[in-house]
């Protein structure tokens, strides 16, 4: 009889996260922040001294989402901050790779997302309108990243991500920072949102 393949990962917190059956009790924000701060967006194909991390992207998406949705409940801001949280263990794959892998990737992502959401006071499955607004913020962030650090022209970015609403991003910028700095900012923003959740 074949030995079952290992489907868990030991996290730096000491937690043992079962990737096939994750539970909220196995989720720690420090593990998420650490993993996302060291995962590069765009498969690392960006300009600059530091890779543009998923944690940095997540902070930007939450800021854009909050601008798009003034006076929205803190739990939805938390959902925006954590929109790519599963990538702390499964990595960031560009859309063409996700499409090639197929439904298995989506199922894994959904299980991890549900566990993360439940751990931090967000519904396991987001309402369609919230998911859509987070996706809109995600596309704006992708446009900014594409043009600023990934070598795309504005015309290419418009075609792939939609035309940018310039006033919406006034004062926001793509930042390239050391992973430890981004990790600390991610944890800090998470703590602020938890405090707002009360």
Query: For residue 116, what pLDDT is reported?
Result: 98
Domains and CATH numbers, the chain: 27-196 (1.10.3210.10)
Torsion over CA of 172, 195, 126 and 146, rounded to 10 degrees? 20
Mention every residue, 6+ apart, whose C-beta is less than 8 A from residue 161.
Answer: 139, 140, 142, 143, 146
pLDDT, mean of residues 138-149: 97
SS3 category, 5: coil
Q: Percent of the chain having pLDDT more than 70?
A: 100
The secondary element (H helix, E strand) that includes residue 26 is none
**For residue 96, pLDDT beyond 80:** no
Q: How far apart are CA 162 and CA 165, in angstroms?
A: 9
In the structure, what pLDDT confidence band is assigned to residue 107 with cuts at 50, 70 and 90?
Answer: confident
Residue-wise pLDDT tens digits, 120-138: 999 999 999 999 999 999 9
Q: Residue 198 class from Cβ within 10 Å (0-12 exposed, 13-18 middle, 19+ buried)?
A: exposed
SS3 category, 47: coil
Q: Which residue has the higher pLDDT, 147 or 1?
A: 147
Query: For residue 190, what pLDDT is reported?
Result: 98
Helix ranges (H only) for 10-152 are 29-37, 54-68, 74-81, 87-90, 95-101, 103-119, 128-149
Query: For residue 169, what pLDDT is reported?
Result: 93
Describe the crossing of helices 29-37 and 179-197 by its angle, rounded to 10 degrees: 140
Query: For residue 92, what pLDDT is reported?
Result: 84
In the structure, what pLDDT confidence band is assigned to residue 5 with cuts at 50, 70 and 90?
Answer: confident
Residue-wise pLDDT tens digits, 26-73: 999 999 999 999 999 999 999 999 999 999 999 999 999 999 999 999
pLDDT, mean of residues 91-101: 79
Say how many CA atoms lie within 13 Å of 171 toward its Cβ. 4
């Amino acid at each position: 009889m074949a030995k079952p393949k290992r489907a868990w990962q030991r996290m730096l917190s000491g937690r043992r996260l079962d990737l096939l059956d994750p539970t909220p009790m196995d989720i720690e924000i420090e593990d998420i922040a650490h993993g996302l701060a060291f995962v590069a967006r765009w498969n690392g194909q960006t300009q600059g001294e530091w890779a543009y991390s998923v944690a940095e992207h997540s902070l930007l998406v939450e800021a854009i989402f909050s601008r798009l949705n003034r006076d929205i409940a803190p739990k939805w801001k938390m959902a925006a901050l954590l929109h790519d949280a599963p990538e702390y263990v499964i990595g960031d794959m560009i859309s063409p790779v996700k499409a090639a892998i197929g439904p298995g990737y989506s199922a894994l992502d959904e299980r991890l997302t549900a566990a993360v959401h439940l751990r931090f006071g967000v519904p396991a499955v987001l309402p369609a309108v919230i998911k859509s607004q987070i996706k809109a913020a995600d596309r704006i962030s992708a446009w900014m990243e594409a043009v600023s650090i990934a070598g795309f022209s504005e015309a290419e970015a418009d075609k792939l991500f939609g035309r940018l609403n310039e006033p919406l991003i006034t004062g926001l910028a793509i930042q390239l920072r050391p992973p430890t700095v981004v990790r600390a900012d991610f944890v800090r923003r998470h703590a602020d949102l938890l405090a707002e959740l009360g």
